[in-house]
Amino acid sequence: MTRTVPGRTDHVVVVGAGLSGLAAALHLLGAGRRVTVVERDASPGGRAGRTIRGGYHLDTGPTVLTMPHLADEAFAAVGDSLAARVDLVPLHPAYRARFADGSTLDVHTGAEAMEAEIERFAGAREAAGYVRLRAWLERLYRVQMRRFIDADFDSPLQLFHPDLARLAALGGFGRLDARIGRFLHDERLRRVFSFQSLYAGVAPERALAAYAVIAYMDTVAGVWFPRGGMHALPRAMADAAEDAGADLRFGQTVTRLERSGERITAVITDSGRIACDAVVLTPDLPVTYRLLGRAPRRPVGLRFSPSAVILHVGTDRTWPGLAHHTISFGAAWRQTFRELSDHGRLMSDPSLLVTRPTATDPGLAPPGRHLHYILAPCPNTAVGPDAAEWGELGPRYRDSLLTELERRGLDGIAAAVEEECLVTPADWQAQGHAAGSPFSAAHTFAQTGPFRPRNLVRGTVNAVLAGCGTTPGVGVPTVLLSGKLAAARITGGARPGRPRPAVREPQERRPV
């Protein structure tokens, strides 16, 4: 039996209106709770925020949306639906991969299309390997989802279930890169199906093969983009929560928690006091633990994921070789991960994610203009340059990124820039993200599943955590689940008898 919050839980305060907080709020509302959401920013979104520069609408956080049915679950909790609130466009291809040798591969989520693309790219043997890999990814997802991802943990003993043996039989406790190599021999293809472990903060050669489930989400389940940008999702969730009766309070910073014994009795903001029966805390772990006045004891301190430099550029032109999402791989691979995680150095030959949201929604830029989002993994401030160093390092690294993209075929990109916004680990750290990383605690074995910081903290019986630092982890799908799991700790999973639409994926549209 999973632990739940004891006593009255009629009024719940959710701290933070990011994806996890909004998901928690919707699930709580659906279970009949009165909900107040407190957010320090002037609008919802958290990491999935929005900045407008010179008519360019910049998503400040994630750009890849997978598993949208998990967002639909949150809307459905209040009798609403994702499809009624957000116009989702399926991306075809989901990604385009460009390699240092000049070759390109379009990553399709349809089985037949991807098999044909791999046969064109690397031959029949690799295409046959992809078919086997896809079947393995599907089995891996089915075994993990309900038992190990969409689940609250109170003890490692909960791992002992027949699905654990099934996961072991699938090779889930081996190394990701080696497991992918059993299906694909072409190193370029192995990168396409293993780079996703970087989302979890671990290099493919060190990550558990179980984290290939992220590759399932990216390369099998499908990738979507909301019209209006990724920020359209939290905006719609906030609107649905408000329509369902939530009290949304923006521009208020939580300064402390008032308590009586082990119970939180009120949330204190810079605008006043909000009495509560329970609280959901979504800030990054150090901020949450500071509010609670204690941090769980761990034999070894938390290890945080590498960070990222993000360069948003609004340009007067674009480049035909770019898809909506393009991964530009450098020639180096393993050594760059060692540079990031072990040596605290910038990648000498970076692999970059270039997102062009105006490929799908031209309205995100002024007429005739284009928006590009360039993400470069970099060391976090615990192992690499500290926040102060990024003041000088950031502009120089910006120039080197544009130079590298020019070298890789984006001729004239530096001269085409009209508006820009550079985000470095110093900016993430200023926002309260530990070690200057927006990806929180890395998914090492000792920080995964029941070993990850739990969403219940000893010494406080009615506070529940949500967000990427706790169960189940980093990424849009898992953060949405964290809000659902936090709500279940408070409600016990019970829901009143309000009508709920069927949970389903949005209807697929033709690419635009």
The partner residues of 345 in beta bridges, in order of sequence, read: none
pLDDT by residue for the chain (512 residues), tens only, comes to: 689 999 999 999 999 999 999 999 999 999 999 999 999 999 999 999 999 999 999 999 999 999 999 999 999 999 999 999 999 999 999 999 999 999 999 999 999 999 999 999 999 999 999 999 999 999 999 988 877 787 777 766 666 677 778 888 888 888 999 999 999 999 999 999 998 888 778 888 888 888 889 999 999 999 999 999 999 999 999 999 999 999 999 999 999 999 999 999 999 999 999 999 999 999 999 999 999 998 888 877 889 999 999 999 999 999 999 999 999 999 988 888 888 888 899 999 999 999 999 999 999 999 999 999 999 999 999 999 999 999 999 999 999 999 999 999 999 999 999 999 999 999 999 998 999 999 999 888 888 888 899 999 999 999 999 999 999 999 999 999 999 999 999 998 654 334 333 333 333 333 33
**63 φ/ψ angles, rounded to the nearest 5 degrees:** -120, -5
Query: Which tokens hold the place of 279?
Result: 């609280």
Element (H, E) at 12: strand 11-15
Query: How far is residue 351's CA from residue 366's CA, in Å, rounded to a whole number?
Result: 29
Q: Are 35 and 246 in contact (CB under 8 A)?
A: yes
Which alpha helices (H) appear in 408-497, and where do they start and end? 413-416, 425-430, 476-491
Phi-psi region of 224 (alpha: psi -120 to 50; beta: other; left: phi over 0): beta
The DSSP string of 205-270 is: TTSBGGGHHHHHIIIII--EEETT-TTHHHHHHHHHHHHTT-EEEES--EEEEEEETTEEEEEEET
Give a three-class secondary structure readout of 371-425: EEEEEEEECCCCCCCCHHHHHHHHHHHHHHHHHHHHHCCCCCHHHHEEEEEEECH
Task: Residue 455: name the closest of 157, 153, 156, 155 by CA.
Answer: 153
Q: Strand 254-260 to strand 247-250: parallel, antiparallel, or no bridges (unpaired)?
A: unpaired
Cα dist. 217→93, 177, 196, 282, 335 in Å? 14, 17, 10, 24, 26
Longest Cα separation, the chain: 67
pLDDT of residue 502: 33
DSSP structure class, residue 149: I
Q: Which amino acid is at 19?
A: L
The partner residues of 314 in beta bridges, in order of sequence, read: 371, 419
pLDDT of residue 503: 34
pLDDT of residue 145: 81
| pTM of the full structure | 0.92
Query: How far is residue 71's CA from residue 86's CA, in Å, rounded to a whole number?
Result: 11
Classify 175 as helix, strand or coil.
Answer: strand
Query: How far is residue 226's CA from residue 199's CA, in Å, rounded to a whole number?
Result: 21
Query: Which tokens hold the place of 464?
Result: 């529940």
Query: How far is residue 56's CA from residue 370's CA, in Å, rounded to a whole number?
Result: 8
Q: Are 279 and 9 in contact (CB under 8 A)?
A: no
Peptide bond just before 93 cis, omega within 30 deg? yes
DSSP structure class, residue 40: S
Residue written as tokens 């009949």? 32
C-alpha angle 474-480-482 in degrees, rounded to nearest 5: 70
pLDDT of residue 1: 63
Classify 110 as helix, strand or coil.
Answer: coil
Contacts 24+ apart (CB under 8 A), 124-132: 125/185, 126/184, 126/185, 126/186, 126/189, 129/183, 129/184, 129/185, 130/183, 130/184, 130/189, 132/183
Which alpha helices (H) appear in 33-85, and where do they start and end? 69-76, 82-85
pLDDT of residue 365: 98
